[in-house]
Structure 1
């Protein structure tokens, strides 16, 4: 990673934690963001044990603009830069459209789409203003590419993430910023504990496999850019 600083939102979730471990083992300086401060501090301590000598943990609600701005301010004060941002914060409530409440719909739009917007906007603005470089990872997941029953609200948010990121890439085309969309499907993570749907988690991908895919994308030498990565378990394939 050559000393690149990586910021991960949703760091205490399945993919976020697996990625933090994968990067810590390579000695990568990390900024970890999530809402639960105590859980975040424990993860930061683990990252030190795994091999990262520089870890900043910042409790952050990605739906709050002021907290997102503070996250980046603290990151730049400590490291002087943020080279990579991975938006791993997410929320899913899977219900048929006639059962989905307005509050649940708003919650998914706020966390998945607005949160991605606020973090992405802050990242690319700083990169454009300072060094014209950087790598942003957003995670629409496979339900940001293929619709599924009982997921109308979640798909609305995740399709939005995909469209937003592609349009944002056009806005930033001349600034040498890399964008990667991650279409992961069927990840065995805590996501499913509150999603409202019974699934066969033993047939899903492990968060470590998602982390390995992100790590691979970070290793692609210039001028290559992995713009989209699709990773699914064989039991979830769309043809």
Structure 2
């Protein structure tokens, strides 16, 4: 895909962390980015860094009706997204018998249902396009291997892995690529909910964002459908 050819991208979870890095990097490459997030002030900060190619969209991806309304009011048949980055996600980490049902449901709603709502809204118009499109789902290393005190998060990220594989089979005939990226620990605020602290030996958000650029720029008939990215030495410095 040639990112300089007036491409349009939708990035969820764009208000901070990896999503913000992806949105900024795409915008700097000349892609028109619609960055979806729930925090209006944080999206404004991203917009300052991303420039005129970024449009902040305050929206909850758990609200299917709101997603449909926004999409239908924003895009026309000749002006629809070429790229979807399903990045929004949340994690709560505790023993299964100590996990509140509300935490479990929030992970399922954001990490699985939200991905379905956004994808199923954009895909019909992607199928109509004559040029290649690309959907990238941000999974996790915990969508490949289990870990104690991570049952809910693992369940949803294993689900994203299966969703991505099945979606690839459905959409390849329409020249729509589907890639699932499974990163290890990233230096963002994600770990605050678990009481852990991020550090510089973790993966860096903009390194992953630049990797996504490389994936998007592969030839139209070439697909990397799955990628696992790990920090080489994940332990905290001086540990």
- TM (normalized to structure 2)? 0.90
Q: 1:20–1:47: 8 Å Cα contact kept in structure 2?
A: yes
Q: 1:50-129 residue pairs with structure 2 within 5 A?
A: 53-77=52-76, 80-129=79-128
The verdict on how the C-alpha distance between 1:190 and 1:143 changes in structure 2, with shifts beyond 3 A counting, is same
Deviations 1:137-182 (A, max 9, x none): 1011111111111100000111111111211222223211100100
**Residue of structure 2 in register with 1:141 after alignment:** 140
Q: Secondary structure at the match of 1:234?
A: coil
Q: 2:143–2:182: 8 Å Cα contact kept in structure 1?
A: yes
**Residue of structure 1 in register with 2:211 after alignment:** 213
What is the Cα deviation at residue 39 of structure 1?
1.8
Q: Secondary structure at the match of 1:233?
A: coil
Between 125-134 and 185-194, report the one with greater CA deviation.
125-134
Q: 1:56–1:75: 8 Å Cα contact kept in structure 2?
A: no
Deviations 1:164-207 (A, max 9, x none): 1211222223211100100111111111122x142552321111
Q: 1:144–1:155: 8 Å Cα contact kept in structure 2?
A: yes
Q: Secondary structure at the match of 2:96?
A: coil
- CA RMSD in angstroms comes to 2.0
CA distance in 2, matches of 1:79, 1:12: 27
CA distance in 2, matches of 1:147, 1:19: 27
Deviations 1:178-237 (A, max 9, x none): 00100111111111122x142552321111111111111011122111111111102359
**Residue of structure 1 in register with 2:50 after alignment:** 47
Q: 1:13–1:89: 8 Å Cα contact kept in structure 2?
A: no
- TM (normalized to structure 1)? 0.90
Q: Secondary structure at the match of 1:6?
A: strand
Matched, 1:34 2:37: yes
Between 61-70 and 167-176, report the one with greater CA deviation.
167-176
**Residue of structure 2 in register with 1:168 after alignment:** 167
What is the Cα deviation at residue 21 of structure 1?
1.8
Counterpart selection for 1:8 from 6, 11, 22? 11
Q: Secondary structure at the match of 1:19?
A: helix
- Gap regions ≥5 residues in structure 1: none
